[in-house]
A and B are shown apart, each in its own frame.
Chain A
Amino acid sequence: MPMEAQDIETLIRESFPQAKITITDLAGDGNHWAAEVIDASFKGMNRVQQQRAVYASLKGKMDGPNGALHALALTTKAPD
């Protein structure tokens, strides 16, 4: 069952309540998403650390061939 943009945002928001989150359906098929997450907690973290934190918020939804999220392009940064 593919995920909706709102579901993805809700999961990320649980871990990053203050973040600016933008979800885009890349292919229009509800299966290839892009998420941009801008959060103050990212300050001082490198991209790997930032994106690990976002992946962790998705609680295994990206795991393996049976994961609900097949493709999620991530962009993360701290606010300017």
Chain B
Amino acid sequence: MSDVTQSEVPQSAASPALDKIREIIASREVVLFMKGTKTMPQCGFSSRVAGVLNYMGVDFLDVNVLADAGIRQGIKDFSDWPTIPQLYVKGEFVGGCDIVTEMTLSGEMDALFEQSGIAYDKAAAEKIREANA
């Protein structure tokens, strides 16, 4: 047994944080990694995305990265994306604050929810667009 070689898998790929992240993302259809929680966001960008989802009546899991340093770094490695918030729909990384905002205003977010069979309030989405027209 002494000649067992060290695993060549990079440490990040094998980290418990990444396993946990995969589990979280698979556990719900819509997951938002954010600073703070959906009821008490602690960063303007996180607040904006959580606010849009709340307003559109989307059922989503909020993961507070400030509560777990491993998740906070791990989610950036996982998606190869340097900022938080990060939105996942059906296991796929959708984007951060700028992309979610653009997609909401263009109607692409509606299309994504419809394709993915995720319930949302279309009238609320229209209201957001009207207010930002």
A1: interface (CB < 8 Å): no
A51 B99 Cβ-Cβ under 8 A: yes
* A73 contacts across to B, CB distance below 8 A: 97-98
B3: interface (CB < 8 Å): no
Chain A residue, CB-CB nearest to B93: A48
In this complex, how many residues of chain A approach chain B with their Cβ under 8 Å: the count is 11
CB proximity of A29 to chain B, nearest CB, Å: 14
A10: interface (CB < 8 Å): no
State the CA gap A63–B77 with chains docked (Å): 11
A48 partner, pick from B81, B82, B83, B97, beta carbons under 8 A: B81
State the CA gap A12–B58 with chains docked (Å): 36
CB proximity of A60 to chain B, nearest CB, Å: 8
A48 B98 Cβ-Cβ under 8 A: no
Q: Which of A42-60 contact B (CB under 8 A)?
A: 47-48, 51-52, 55
B114: interface (CB < 8 Å): no
Report B68-104 CB contacts with A as 1/0, cut-off 8 Å: 0000000000001111000000000111111100110
Query: Chain B, interface size: which category?
Result: 10 to 19
CB proximity of A79 to chain B, nearest CB, Å: 17
A78: interface (CB < 8 Å): no
State the CA gap A62–B93 with chains docked (Å): 19
A55 B81 Cβ-Cβ under 8 A: yes
CB proximity of B26 to chain A, nearest CB, Å: 19
A21: interface (CB < 8 Å): no
A63 partner, pick from B82, B93, B97, B98, beta carbons under 8 A: B82
Chain A interface residues toward B at CB < 8 A: 47-48, 51-52, 55, 62-63, 71, 73-75
A-B contact pairs, 14 of them (CB 8 A): A47-B99, A47-B102, A48-B81, A48-B99, A51-B95, A51-B99, A52-B81, A55-B81, A63-B82, A71-B45, A73-B97, A74-B98, A75-B98, A75-B102
